Every structure is written in structure tokens, then in C-alpha cells.
């Protein structure tokens, strides 16, 4: 079953009076776990930044290339932080295509995302290899302890740690760099850490005003986003060795891995996606 075919119903207690960034992202990707309030914000964002839907797909395709890169380098277990609503190209689905014994734990603090993930993993996952946690990624020790306690991941073997399109939704006052450092310290040697992050650094002037307007709209909607300059994002990797070509615009990262026509099209003006990404390897 394609996860996007699951009809959405709101879990009890979920606030549907305000939009949610994870559900807006799902809307951009063509998923169904979103509601009218999310679609209103999504449509306003798309009106301001017409390329934003394509950018969401390019971000998701980057995630798929990251997972495949990890598997090609012997990493078969994944911890997906801020995994969002189950939608097109989920980590365990991409991984299972290459290794049917791969493992994945999803982590998100958004109730809708977690509820849908649980239902769909129960129906189409493998409880011995797939799990989801309702937790805040900022609580590093608790997240790590809970993820390992489930028994899906082996803490003695390298892990593919995924923080794709999530860190820019953390308030800088939450000491984001320190949060990421703690995860780096917990990872076994040989692990890979992938990050994609919104940045307005070096975005073309014609695009900059549109993206800034979108950032302002996110703040006004109660879903604040905090783009960072590339040097700040680079520091999140610490002393990890960056996989070539380093921290680059997403449409520039491993185009040889067979990205879609959408990513190739955006590669002609890569900064138009306003996202950079890369993989770091723990020594």
C-alpha cells in the first residue's frame, strides 16, 4: 500500500485550529494527513513562493539519496529525527528496497505524525525492524535511551542519523548546535549524520524577497522557521568528515544517484530551493 493513500482522521486531542509545519509539508508532497487549516497556509506559501512545492519534493528526494548512500556504505539502521507525517518516500520503504533486513526508528513530537506512523507501521511494517516514538528531539538523552530500549536499533553498530528539514524549526534559543553535538557524541564510530537545512545565504536577489516573505508567514502562523547561514549549518557537523561534495544546495548533492526530473531541473538554479544538505561521517 502507498502510504499517501491512507485517508486522514484526526487523533483525539489534536489541535486542528492552527496549521502545522509537518502537515503543510505533507500537503506539498501530495499526502493526505493534512487538514483545511494546513492547506490554507500551504496555498498562501505557494502563492508567495511558487517553487516551494517543487522544493519540498527535492528535499524528500535528497532524503532518499541519503538513505541509499548510507546503505551503500554498510549502514543498515536509521534514526529519523523530526520524521514528520508518513508520506512519499519514507525511510524504511527506501531502505527495504535495498536491504529487506534494514531497521528504522522514527521520532516526532507532532501527534498527527506519530499517530499515522503507528497505524501504518502496524499495517505494513515489521515490528521487529520498524518503530515510532512520540518525543521531542531536543531531549537528546531521553530520545536516544527510548530509541535503543525498543530493541530495533543496535547501539554498538553504526547508525544513519537523519535530521532532514527539521533543525530550522527549532528556536536558536534552544541551543540547536548543542543538541546536535550531543547526538554526534552518542553515535558509534562509522555512523553517518545527514542534515538538510533552510538558508537564505547566497540565494539569488530575485528569490530572496519571496523566501523572506514565506519565513515571515511561517512566524505569523505559529510555525516559526529560522534559516541559518551556511557556516552555522556546517558547524553542526563538528569534526565529522563530510561526504563529497560537502555541504551544498540539495540539487547539487549526488545527482549521479538518479534524482527525478524535478531535481535535475532545479539543479540549473540550485539556490532556488533555499536548502543545503550533506552527510558527515563520524571518525
pLDDT tens per residue across span 213-224: 899 999 888 889
How many other C-beta atoms lie within 10 A of the C-beta of residue 248?
16
Q: What is the DSSP string of 152-176?
A: SS-TTS--EEEEES-GGGS-GGG-H
Mean pLDDT, to the nearest integer, of 139-145? 97
Phi, psi of 192 (to 5 degrees): -125, 135
pLDDT digits (tens, 9 = 90+) for 47-82: 999 989 999 999 999 999 999 999 999 999 999 999
- The pLDDT mean for the chain works out to 90
For the chain, what percent of residues have pLDDT higher than 70?
93
The answer to whether residue 41 scores a pLDDT higher than 50 is yes
Mean pLDDT, to the nearest integer, of 157-177? 96
The third-level CATH classification (topology) of the domain covering 10-281 is: Rossmann fold (3.40.50)
Cβ-contact 254, 69 below 8 angstroms = yes
**pLDDT classification of 86: cutoffs 50, 70, 90:** confident
- Residue 246: predicted pLDDT: 98
- Residue 164: predicted pLDDT: 97
- Residue 16 backbone class (left: φ over 0; alpha: ψ -120 to 50; beta: rest): alpha
**pLDDT classification of 93: cutoffs 50, 70, 90:** very high
**pLDDT classification of 113: cutoffs 50, 70, 90:** confident
**pLDDT classification of 7: cutoffs 50, 70, 90:** very low
Q: Which of 12, 58, 18, 9 is nearest to 274 (CA)?
A: 58
- Residue 190: predicted pLDDT: 98
pLDDT digits (tens, 9 = 90+) for 188-238: 999 999 999 999 998 888 788 888 989 999 988 888 999 999 999 999 999
- Residue 136: predicted pLDDT: 96
**pLDDT classification of 14: cutoffs 50, 70, 90:** low
Cell 530550522: give the residue.
Answer: 168
Helices of type H across the chain: 21-28, 36-48, 52-72, 91-98, 111-124, 140-149, 176-186, 205-220, 230-235, 261-266
pLDDT digits (tens, 9 = 90+) for 118-135: 887 888 889 999 999 999
**pLDDT classification of 255: cutoffs 50, 70, 90:** confident
> Which residues, in sequence order, are CB contacts of 173 under 8 Å at separation 6+?
none
Mean pLDDT, to the nearest integer, of 181-187? 98
The answer to whether residue 3 scores a pLDDT higher than 50 is no
Mean pLDDT, to the nearest integer, of 101-123? 89
- Residue 245: predicted pLDDT: 97
Amino acid at each position: 500500500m502507498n502510504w499517501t493513500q491512507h485517508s486522514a482522521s484526526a487523533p483525539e486531542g489534536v489541535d486542528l485550529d492552527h496549521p502545522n509545519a509537518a502537515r503543510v509539508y505533507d500537503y506539498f508532497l501530495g499526502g493526505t494527513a493534512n487538514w483545511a487549516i494546513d492547506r490554507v497556509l500551504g496555498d498562501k506559501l505557494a502563492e508567495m513562493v511558487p517553487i516551494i512545492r517543487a522544493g519540498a519534493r527535492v528535499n524528500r528526494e535528497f532524503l532518499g539519496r541519503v538513505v541509499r548512500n548510507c546503505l551503500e556504505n554498510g549502514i543498515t539502521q536509521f534514526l529519523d529525527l523530526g520524521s514528520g507525517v508518513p508520506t512519499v518516500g519514507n525511510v524504511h520503504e527506501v531502505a527495504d528496497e535495498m536491504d529487506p533486513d534494514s531497521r528504522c526508528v522514527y521520532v516526532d513530537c507532532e501527534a498527527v505524525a506519530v499517530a499515522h506512523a503507528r497505524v501504518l507501521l502496524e499495517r505494513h511494517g515489521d515490528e521487529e525492524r520498524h518503530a515510532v516514538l512520540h518525543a521531542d528531539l531536543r531531549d537528546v538523552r531521553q530520545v536516544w535511551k527510548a530509541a535503543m530500549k525498543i530493541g530495533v536499533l543496535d547501539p554498538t553498530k553504526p547508525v544513519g542519523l537523519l535530521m532532514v528539514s527539521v533543525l530550522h524549526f527549532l528556536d536558536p534559543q534552544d541551543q540547536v548546535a548543542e543538541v546536535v553535538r550531543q547526538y554526534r557524541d552518542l553515535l558509534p564510530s562509522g555512523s553517518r549524520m545527514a542534515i538538510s537545512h533552510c538558508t537564505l545565504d547566497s540565494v539569488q536577489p530575485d528569490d530572496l524577497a519571496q523566501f523572506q516573505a514565506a519565513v515571515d508567514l511561517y512566524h505569523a502562523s505559529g510555525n516559526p522557521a529560522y534559516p541559518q547561514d551556511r557556516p552555522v549549518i556546517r558547524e553542526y557537523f563538528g569534526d565529522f568528515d563530510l561526504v563529497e561534495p560537502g555541504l551544498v544546495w540539495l540539487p547539487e548533492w549526488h545527482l549521479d544517484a538518479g534524482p527525478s526530473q524535478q531535481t535535475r531541473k532545479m539543479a540549473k538554479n540550485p539556490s532556488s530551493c533555499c536548502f543545503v544538505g550533506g552527510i558527515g561521517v563520524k571518525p
